[in-house]
């Protein structure tokens, strides 16, 4: 990531530029040039054969259900990701 832009920091994509890059703006108004693959636009979940963006209420309920059922050797990693998804969509983990 560019200096001054933290991993998992919320940004707004303001425009695309050449060479698979985009200009993003953080909450302070600072702009950074990043590669497209450095911008996480969220996840999509297939629930009952339908696709829902992680911000959709049905996806939020699904993520909460996944958190409640976690088990096995990858619990910490999966839990951290699911909690991050909830937080960035304005929900308590």
* Dihedral sign for Cα atoms in the order 63, 68, 69, 73: positive
Tell me the per-residue pLDDT of 27-58, one tens digit each, with 9 for 90 and over.
999 999 999 999 988 999 999 999 999 999 99
Residue 93 predicted with pLDDT over 80 = no
0.85 exceeded by the pTM?
Answer: no
Place of tokens 């703006």: 25
Is residue 51 included in any domain, yes or no?
yes
Q: How many domains does the chain have?
A: 2
Q: What is the pLDDT of residue 7?
A: 85
Do residues 32 and 58 both lie within one domain? no
- The Cα 29–Cα 12 span in angstroms is 10
Is residue 93 included in any domain, yes or no?
no
Q: Which domain holds residue 36?
A: 1-41
């Amino acid at each position: 990531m560019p200096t001054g832009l933290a991993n998992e920091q919320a940004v707004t994509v303001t425009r695309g530029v050449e060479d698979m890059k985009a200009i993003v703006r953080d909450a302070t108004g600072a702009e950074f040039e990043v590669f497209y693959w450095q911008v996480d636009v969220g996840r999509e979940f297939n629930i009952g054969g339908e696709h829902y963006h992680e911000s959709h209420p049905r996806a939020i309920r699904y993520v909460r259900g996944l958190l409640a059922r976690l088990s096995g050797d990858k619990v910490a990693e999966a839990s951290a990701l699911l909690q991050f998804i909830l937080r960035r969509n304005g929900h308590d983990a």
